[in-house]
Structure 1
Amino acid sequence: MAGKRKTNEAGSTNNLRADVLCVLGVLKAATADQIQRLSSPHLPFRHTTKETAAARKEARTASHRGALNDLRRHGLSVDGGRTRGGEEVRLLTKDGLAAAGLELDRGPEEMGGMPKSAGRSGASHAMTVNETVIALIRPKPDLHLVAGEPAEAIEAAQAWIDAPDGTGSITSYATEVALPATGTWKNPGVGCAWADLVLIAPEVGLPLLFIEADNCTEDAAKIAAKFDKYMRHFHRTVKDTDGQDKPMWRTRWSAPDPQWGDATHPPVLLVFNQVGKRPALNQMKKLAALTREHWQGQGADGFHLYKGKMPIVATTLELLREHGPCGTRRT
């Protein structure tokens, strides 16, 4: 309401705190910079007259850092260490996760788990997952919020608006989602797969997409083993509400019914971030060979049949950032 915008100790508005809760509710661990880029994409086009990049970053993230401090004072977030670049990582507490669930309109079982090694060892994997989300969404600035800035800043904002679109919004994604081969959604059995990201964007023809992020540090065989776990989950059936057996994943997510008997499993996007020493292209080639049984179709009368297969697409974070998910370049 007018006149009651700043109601918290660090000066953040309730709306800004809600934005931060939504982003952290999905990502679970993030920096103020990542939260700002997702929730207020116009801010990089303001404060452009400050002399240094550090000063510009300080200015554009100030309001989100204030909101994070207010959430911490209310017991909804905690400090989670620092990235390898020295940026502070923030995590949600149990109460914070519950508050985020209310903002996202998601139940506890839909919120997912905490990211691997969150806040420890630089949280490198969690940071790559976050950057993958940003590269996929490609948040567009509102030109009205850049009005009055220097002409160069307005032109840069317009160029970003005109660039290839992204896919979905922060509410289209979920992180660390269990895919149980045994147990339940709420209490998955030991050894189940945990999807780094799940994207639901039927408005662009993606009713369900699983996404895995890798920093080029793990052996290809270890990554391939995760796809074995994916397949175990896809093969699992349970009784639906009509008493009929149904693939377990279809009891949670909607997807088109199979046509012509050629039913594939949901697709998986594998995103490599060249942080480690293993070349991304080599990783892709090794994984293609190691997972062939899961994705390769069978030839029949001049056609390839993919019944029971799992489509796997691989790219790099660099390409996603440059061209977006709807760009013309692919790996």
Structure 2
Amino acid sequence: MFHRFSITLLATCAFALTGCELPERAEPMSAAQGVAASGCNPLFRNRFTADPAPLTVGDRLYLYAGHDEGDEGFRIDEWVAYSTTDMKHWTDHGAFMKPTDFAWAEGEAWAAEMVEKDGKFYFYVTVEHDDTHPGKAIGVAVGDSPTGPFTDARGSALILDNTDTWRTWSDIDPTVMIDDDGTPWMMWGNSNLYLARLKSNMIELDCAPRELKVTNYLEGPWLHKRDDFYYLTYASIKEPEQKAERISYATAPSVEGPWTYRGELTGAAQNSFTIHAGIEEFKGNWYFFYHNGAQAIAGREGSEFRRSVAVEPLHYGDDGSIQPIVQTRQGAGTGPCP
């Protein structure tokens, strides 16, 4: 989600994208409309969105995000969902869940991911725990459809923040992948990267978490598999020379590693310290979702705390590498961008 000790840099840092210029202003629209049919970036122009998490269900791709509303700090009170069948026309499903739907949580709809298993949909989320255990926590909700309704699957946090670290947001940004043999795995963490196997019920750990080490890791892990390669993409930073997050990636022969650093995948997002990636295959093509702070909505400028989701095509090399991603206005669109 973010690295608080770097937040003082935000007022002085702005980062340009390579490619077409993004517009300074995007007109508001009703929640029922979705977005323009071009598929250009930013994807959603009726609200600020961050921390994208894609999921393919049949012939439809769903995109889950936090609804950014902050001014001088992060304010994310709900998660929203959109879906598409063609990467151009998007249906806006609106807000489908809030952190306070977990009785033990106080708020802060940070990064989340939706996973399907046996006809059920499991939503792994980052929230602020109540004062019985201060700090962030990871919860899991369950529903019968990609847009819910969702209920707390446990009645308690799946992961509590590690009080042995120097911060109260060490346990954030869950990513869950079900391996080819049916085993579900979860990674998460800020500054520290953790891995644990889940039980088949998807709501309990099946082993003690262990810490992994990957180059320049900061937060926002995302797991996926293609052919014989397991991929871990994540928000990275090399201080002091880098002043904002970038996306790096590593590959491995299994979820448990060993993980080999493969380099930076894309640079810093425009007008945002954070950049959070989600990767998904849809109808034979791979896509890289992320956010930036480039868009204005209804007279409110984009910023570190008012971000917008974007997408780019993703391509692999013959050696299993991922080709570098250029952040553009065109995105996955095929027509002229307004």
TM value normalised by structure 1: 0.28
Larger helix proportion, structure 1 or 2?
1
Larger strand proportion, structure 1 or 2?
2
Q: Which of 1 and 2 has higher RCO (CA within 8 Å, sep 6+)?
A: 2
TM value normalised by structure 2: 0.28
Q: Which has the larger radius of gyration?
A: 1
